[in-house]
Chain A
C-alpha cells in the first residue's frame, strides 16, 4: 500500500485567466481506490484529465510510477479512462471496442482474441462479442467501457463519474462490481464523483475538493466521523451544525455555548476562551431523553417521518431544525416538547 503510483506536485491549471486548480499536491498509492469527491465545478474532472494527459497542465509536474510524464501525450501514458458517457465506438462491435487498445499496440491477433475473451469473462459479458453498442443496455455499455479500459492493463484506471447515467438499482450493482474488479485486478482506481454515497461505499481513501481546494483527504470513516471543516461536515452524510463560542476549558474538555446559553461539553482541540467555532452532531448520534446533564437541549417536535428501519424526527431548537434518527418513532408525538442529548465523544468541532 505504500508505493506511490501517481504523484501530482504543485499542479496548476488555468483556463485563459480563470484558475481551475492551483498548487495541487496528491499522492496515490498502488492498488488503492481513491475517490475525488466534490460538487460540480470544483475542478475534480480537470485533475483526472490532467492525469490522463487529455488536458495540459499550466504548471507543476505529474509523476507516474516515479517517471515525470508531464509532457507525455495521452496515448503514451499507461493510464486509461472510463468516460462519463462511456464513449464507446458506435461503429465497432463489442469485441472490436475492447480490442482497440491492443490493436493500437500492434499485439498479434491470436493474443488479442484470448485477451478479449478474458475481459468479456471478467465483466460478465461472455457471448456479446458481435453486438453493437446501440444494442446494449446502459449497464452493459458500461461494462464494455470498463473492459476496454482494463485490457491495456493500465497502471491506473481513471473513472469520470461512470455511474451517473445509470438508474439507481444498476448504480448499486455496478458499485459492488467496480469494487470487486478493483480488488481482483489490484489496479489503482481514481474515481471522480459528486455522489457521496458512491464515495463512501467504494473508496479506500476519499479526497474532498471544493472551490479548487483540497478540503480533506482520508479514509471514508475518518471523514465521516471527523470532518475537518464545515463544508466537509455538511457535504458528507447528514449533519446538525451549530455555531458555538468557547466559554470554559477544563483539562481535555472545552465547554461551548450555543443558542439560548446552552452549554455543551466537547473535546478540546487547542481552543482558547472566546473562540468562535462550529460543532456538528450526526442525526444517528442524538438520543431522545435526558441522560447526560451537560449535553442536552430542549426541543419541540415538528415532524415525524416513518422511513422503514429508521425514522426521522425533525425538531425545532428555536428556529433551527434538528434532524434526529430514531429506531422507534411511536414514543414521539407531534408538537411535544422533548429533551435530546448527545455524547461528548460524538460531537465534532472545527473552526471554519
Chain B
C-alpha cells in the first residue's frame, strides 16, 4: 500500500521534474559554465577558464546599456501601474459577471502572437501609417510624428504587451479588499485620493509588487520589441544577449550577460519576499 502511494507520487511528479531539470536547470548550468570560458575567432569555444567575460561587462558602454534598459523597464512598469490601478478599481466595482467578462477580455490578446501584435503597431504608427496619415489629412500636424523607432516606441510596445501582467495580479488584490473597509475610510472623513494612498495601495502592495516584477523583468529581456519598435538602433540588454549568441557569435560573453541578468532578477525577488510577498502569489492569480 505504502509502496504504491510512493510510486504514484513519483510518477505524477515526473513531468514537472523533467521540465524543470531538463529545460530550465541544465541549460542554466550550461550557460553558467559557458560564461567562464573563452571564445575563439570562429565562434567556437575554447575550454580555458577566464573571468574576462564578466570583467568586460564593466565597461561604460555596457553599464550605460544596463542603466538604459532598467530605466525603460522602470518607466514601462510605472506607466503600467498608472493605467492598471484605475482600471482594476473600476472593474472591481462591477457585478461578478461583468468582472469576469472584462478580465477575460484582458487576456484575449494572449491568443495572438505578440510579435504579430507588435507589427500591428508599426502599421499604425509609422510615418506613413494610419495615425499619421489621418492627422495629416485633418491638418492637425504638417509633418509626420515619429511615434516609433525611438524610446517612446519601445516603451509603448512594452506597456502594451505587458499590461495584462500588471492588471491580473493587481485585480485579484484590489478585488479582495472588503468594500466596507473603503466605506469606513470615507466615513472617517477621508477623500478618494487619500483613501487610495492610505488604504488601497497598502492593502494591495503585494499584488502591486507582484505585477511590477512580472512587467519589469520581461521588459528588460524582450528584445523583439526593441528590435521592431526601436528600429534596431536602440539596444537593450535583451538585444545584447541575442546579438552575442546569434550574430557576434561570442557565446561566453552572451552567457555572462545572461547570468548577470539572472542574478539581478533574483535580487528583485528577494526584495519582494522581504516586503512580505509570498512566492505562491507570483505564480497564480
Contacts and interface: CB of A to CB of B under 8 A. Distances in A.
Contacts of A80: 187-188
Contacts of B198: 100
A152 B189 contact: yes
Nearest to A96: B198
B188 A152 contact: yes
Contact of B186 (A54, A84, A105): A54
A75 B187 contact: yes
A54 B190 contact: no
A227 interface: no
Given A87-B178, A87-B180, A81 B185 contact: no
Given A75-B191, A85-B178, A91 B203 contact: yes
B203 A100 contact: no
A152 B198 CA distance: 18
A104 B183 contact: no
B187 A81 contact: yes
Contacts of A81: 183-184, 187
B187 A89 contact: no
A84 B180 CA distance: 9
A87 B186 contact: no
Interface in B169-218: 178, 180-181, 183-191, 194, 198-199, 202-203
A10 B59 CA distance: 77
A38 interface: no
A148 B188 contact: yes
Contact of B190 (A53, A79, A92, A104): A104
Contacts of B189: 75-76, 101, 104-105, 152
A325 interface: no
A101 to B, nearest CB: 4
23 contacts: A74-B183, A74-B187, A75-B186, A75-B188, A75-B191, A76-B189, A81-B183, A83-B180, A83-B183, A87-B178, A87-B181, A87-B183, A88-B181, A89-B185, A89-B199, A89-B203, A100-B198, A104-B189, A104-B190, A104-B194, A105-B189, A148-B188, A152-B189
Given A83-B183, A101-B188, 19 more contacts: A54-B186, A54-B187, A73-B186, A74-B186, A74-B187, A75-B189, A80-B187, A81-B187, A83-B184, A87-B184, A88-B181, A89-B181, A89-B185, A91-B202, A100-B188, A101-B189, A104-B188, A104-B191, A148-B184
Interface of B: 178, 180-181, 183-191, 194, 198-199, 202-203
A141 interface: no
Contacts of B181: 87-90
Interface in A105-140: 105
A149 B188 CA distance: 7
A5 to B, nearest CB: 17
B205 to A, nearest CB: 8
A100 B187 contact: no
Given A75-B190, A85-B178, A87-B178, A100 B185 contact: yes
A13 B191 CA distance: 25
A90 B185 CA distance: 12
Q: What are the 3 A-B residue pairs with the smallest beta carbon separation, nearest first?
A: A87-B180, A101-B188, A87-B184
Contacts of B180: 83-85, 87
Contacts of A90: 181, 203
Contacts of A84: 180
Contacts of A88: 181, 184
A51 to B, nearest CB: 11
A154 to B, nearest CB: 9
A84 B181 CA distance: 11
A89 B186 CA distance: 12
Contacts of B199: 89
A88 B186 CA distance: 13
B183 A100 contact: no
Nearest to B184: A87
Contacts of B184: 81, 83, 87-89, 148
Contacts of B186: 54, 73-75
A283 B7 CA distance: 69
Contacts of A75: 186-191
Contacts of B190: 75, 100, 104
A91 B201 CA distance: 10
Nearest to A78: B189
Contacts of A85: 178, 180
A72 to B, nearest CB: 12
B187 A52 contact: yes
Interface in A257-280: none
A81 to B, nearest CB: 5
A92 B186 CA distance: 16
Contacts of A104: 188-191, 194
Contacts of B191: 75, 104
A252 to B, nearest CB: 52
B284 to A, nearest CB: 22
Interface in A52-90: 52-54, 73-76, 79-81, 83-85, 87-90
Contacts of B178: 85, 87
A52 B191 CA distance: 15
A90 B178 CA distance: 10
